[in-house]
Amino acid sequence: MKLLQIILILSLFFQCNSKFPKNTENEMKTDKKPNHLLRQTSPYLLQHLYNPVDWYPWGVEALEKAKKEDKPILVSIGYSACHWCHVMEKECFENDSIADFMNENFISIKVDREERPDIDQIYMDALHTMQRQGGWPLNCFLTPDTKPFYGGTYFPPDRWLQVLHNINENYRNKKKEIEKLAEDVTQHSNQPYLPDFEPKSENKQITLMELNDAFSTMESGFDKRLGGFQRAPKFPMPAIYKFLFGYYQLSGDKKALEQTLLTLNKMSEGGIYDQLGGGFARYSTDVYWLVPHFEKMLYDNAQLISLYCHGYQITKNERFKRVIKETLDYIFREMTSQEGGFFSSQDADSEGKEGFYYLWKMDELKSLLGADLDLFSDYFDVKPSGNWEFSANILNRATEDETFCKKHNLTQEELFRKLTAWNEKLLPVRMKRIHPNLDDKILASWNGLMLKTLTDAYKTTGDENYRKTAIKNAQFLKEKMSDKNFLFHSYKEGKTNVSGMLEDYAFVINAFIGLYEITFDEIWLEDAKNYLDYALLNFWDEKENLFFFTSGDTKLIARKKELFDNVIPASNSQMAINLYKLGLFFDKADYIEKSKSMFSLIKPFLSKNLSHTANWATLACMFSTPTAEIAICGKEADKLRKEMQATFFPNALFMGGTQEGKLPLLENKYSQDVTRIFICFNKTCKMPVETVKSAMDFLKGTSKNSAKYLPLEGDKEGGK
């Protein structure tokens, strides 16, 4: 009832009144002076440094000023690669007349949502409470005590000016009503995260039949011709396809595998994939994966590389292996700091036009490729009039390699040589163009995702450079973004001024577990456990058996919980997986019990909304059958580990080393004379074997009674 009251009051208060004057003229000042963002390091905030709007960063100075002057706060939230954030800045925040009105009547605060996801969560949730569509830029109006009472996303200049006048008039004349509305919205934001939900049973396990039902519900939405789901725009949702790979290995349901491989193939063929430089854009605006929203995010590319790793492990599809290499080459070339950290994103725009950096016109290609132009054009769908705007072309693969080779009487090796030669001609030319803006802040959470991906890439390819880069990144996180067991969220130019949030602990812990598995250096596993214990002490909510997103010393109006998976998995689902894995590694029953308690809360939602519980569903696959604990001990441990890990093991943990280990399961398993492989389930180890083939044969034999750890028969040549 209270929610309906909030919506009704909003509709009465803040309907825009057309009596306010239109003013879209932008009178640019010639003597630009910096506002209060001068000492910030966030590239997004610094983009607004010379706006005529007197922006403040979130902090004591702005909040105290709002109270002292009794003015409403505008908190405007976006991120560096956000296209519509740039549009609204140009149209509204660089408009002197609009800025003058904002400066006179509001305290304006700019927030980088990537730097402060805690603030973004609170006010995005408030926007949803008001039954308004979410997105960025997010513009939310607050009382001086930071309680929200109205908000929206992008506003064109005329409407924005009307909103400002309307808010100002209501704040002056109906202040008590606004304060009451703000209090109601805030109370709604502070309700228990699952107020109307109680688990129907104490059963914390899940059966394969229940997972089958959840998959069947999701399957109805598949685009079985073009991959992904039947809608546009199409967003890569890595957690979904990671689950589908694991579910296939568990159930043997080839429909899950086929849809995942179809999606990976279609994405790598489309314009969403940078055919020349590697890396994936944020999403495709159409159903064909052709026209991307051209921004590139670290978190997308990290997770997608892992998917292609799993796809290659299962199918040995060489195209997948090329995508892994090309995308990692892009990350190392354009998204990596000298210190070993990974940058956050690249903008969609360059030279004021979206995607302009990536487009090619026929005349330019002709001058660079000469006699190869026709072959190149047929392969990459290049047309004289262009296949997109500006009479330009988005490179995409029009046909599969095998079909193309038959058409042009080429071998696969000849085609590969052609692709390499074309790349060597075109990429240096493109690199000389005006680059999209780079957001070079370094986030612990997204670096954790990328670090975990490097461990997957090393397992898949055996490329030692990937392991060295992973170790360098982990050392960077420990030395620059950590103080003992305390993580910082953001790093730039030697500064770490934002405390770590649950997502930082969740993804760094997962990455350090992965790093242990490819090095057998127990320091990484010990660090992971220390971070986990810190998170349990500072983020755990005993009442709901979930983690808060922020630690107990937060000074915001609410402490939120991130439960449902999205493009990035929810921090709670990842922490539940971390608890389960570290519980097995360290034989900590309390960790495993916490993981199962967390899962029991989400279990009823799996069949209803698997798309937003996919990472939880990955944990469900682990719970469904015993997890294989594979210990490799002896002088040849690294060699045997590397050989075994080339295969996709979705429900297995690797441990061991070339000397005696401290983990409980490694006790009395090391021998100086021979290297042995122990395969254990539920704290019970089978007789050790001495060859990888024997270990694989044993796992194949157990697959009928537990998880299927190896590719099913007949899938060796899959991937098309």
Residues near 8 by Cβ (< 8 Å), separated by ≥ 6?
none
**Average pLDDT over every residue of 197-212:** 69
Q: Could you give the CA distance from residue 470 to residue 468 in angstroms, rounded to a whole number?
A: 5
Give the CATH architecture of domain 446-624.
Alpha/alpha barrel (1.50)
Q: Could you give the CA distance from residue 362 to residue 384 in angstroms, rounded to a whole number?
A: 5
Residue 603 Cα to chain centre, angstroms: 23
576: closest CA among 551, 554, 558, 603?
Answer: 603
Q: Could you give the CA distance from residue 308 to residue 323 in angstroms, rounded to a whole number?
A: 7
End-to-end C-alpha distance for the chain, whole angstroms: 53
Residue 711 has pLDDT above 50, yes or no: no
pLDDT band at 535 (very low <50, low <70, confident <90, very high): very high
Question: What confidence score (pLDDT) does residue 683 get?
Answer: 81
pLDDT band at 368 (very low <50, low <70, confident <90, very high): very high
Residue 663 has pLDDT above 60, yes or no: yes
Question: What confidence score (pLDDT) does residue 338 get?
Answer: 96
**Average pLDDT over every residue of 532-540:** 98
H helices of 106-207, in order, are 117-129, 157-173, 175-189
Q: pLDDT over 70 for what percent of the chain?
A: 91
Residue 492 has pLDDT above 80, yes or no: yes
Any long-range contacts for 644-648 (C-beta under 8 Å, 24+ apart)? 644/677, 644/692, 644/695, 644/696, 645/459, 645/517, 645/518, 646/313, 646/459, 646/460, 646/462, 647/313, 647/696, 647/709, 647/710, 647/711, 648/245, 648/249, 648/310, 648/313, 648/314, 648/711
Q: Which residue has the tokens 């979410």?
A: 134
Torsion of CA 161, 164, 170, 173, to 10 degrees: -90
**Average pLDDT over every residue of 36-50:** 95
Please report, for the chain, the start and end positions of each structural domain, with discontinuous segments joined by +.
Answer: 2-189, 222-440, 446-624, 628-702
Least confident piece of the model among 265-274, 627-636, 701-710: 701-710
Whether the domain at 2-189 and the domain at 446-624 fall into the same CATH topology: no
DSSP string covering 366-414: HHHHGGGHHHHHHHHT--TT-SSGGG-B----SS-HHHHHHHHT--HHH
Q: Which residues of 52-84 are buried (b: 16+ CB within 10 A; e: fewer)?
A: bbbbbbbeeebbeebeeeebbbbbbbbbbbbbe
Inter-CA distances, 707 with 15, 577, 606, 624, 625, Å: 57, 17, 20, 8, 6
Residues near 394 by Cβ (< 8 Å), separated by ≥ 6?
271, 290, 291, 292, 355, 358, 359, 387, 388
CATH 3.30.420.40 describes domain 2-189: no
Q: What region does 326 belong to: left with phi over 0, alpha with psi -120 to 50, or beta?
A: alpha
Q: What would the pLDDT profile of 106-123 be if each residue is shown by its tens digit?
A: 999 999 999 999 999 999
Residue 2 has pLDDT above 70, yes or no: no
**Average pLDDT over every residue of 517-543:** 97
Q: Could you give the CA distance from residue 167 to residue 182 in angstroms, rounded to a whole number?
A: 13
Paired sense of beta strands 296-297 and 292-293, if any: unpaired
Q: Could you give the CA distance from residue 692 to residue 450 in angstroms, rounded to a whole number?
A: 29
Least confident piece of the model among 12-21, 441-450, 547-556, 599-608: 12-21
Q: What would the pLDDT profile of 412-458 be if each residue is shown by its tens digit?
A: 999 999 999 999 999 999 999 999 999 999 999 999 999 999 999 99
Radius of gyration of the chain (CA): 27
Residue 459 has pLDDT above 90, yes or no: yes
Q: What would the pLDDT profile of 321-343 be if each residue is shown by its tens digit?
A: 999 999 999 999 999 999 999 99
Question: What confidence score (pLDDT) does residue 10 get?
Answer: 59
Q: Could you give the CA distance from residue 709 to residue 470 in angstroms, rounded to a whole number?
A: 26
Residue 716 has pLDDT above 50, yes or no: no
The one-letter amino acid at 631: A
Question: What confidence score (pLDDT) does residue 26 get?
Answer: 42
Q: Could you give the CA distance from residue 192 to residue 544 in angstroms, rounded to a whole number?
A: 8
**Average pLDDT over every residue of 658-684:** 91
Q: Which helix H or strand E contains 546, and what residues bound it?
A: strand 546-547
H helices of 607-686, in order, are 614-624, 637-645
Q: Could you give the CA distance from residue 637 to residue 653 in angstroms, rounded to a whole number?
A: 15
Q: Could you give the CA distance from residue 475 to residue 468 in angstroms, rounded to a whole number?
A: 11
Paired sense of beta strands 676-681 and 107-112, if any: unpaired
Residue 196 has pLDDT above 60, yes or no: no
Q: Which residue has the tokens 């921090």?
A: 571
Q: Which residues of 321-342 are buried (b: 16+ CB within 10 A; e: fewer)?
A: bbbbbbbbebbeebbbeeebbb
Q: What would the pLDDT profile of 141-193 be if each residue is shown by its tens digit?
A: 999 999 999 999 999 999 999 999 999 999 999 999 999 999 999 988 777 66
Question: What confidence score (pLDDT) does residue 11 get?
Answer: 56
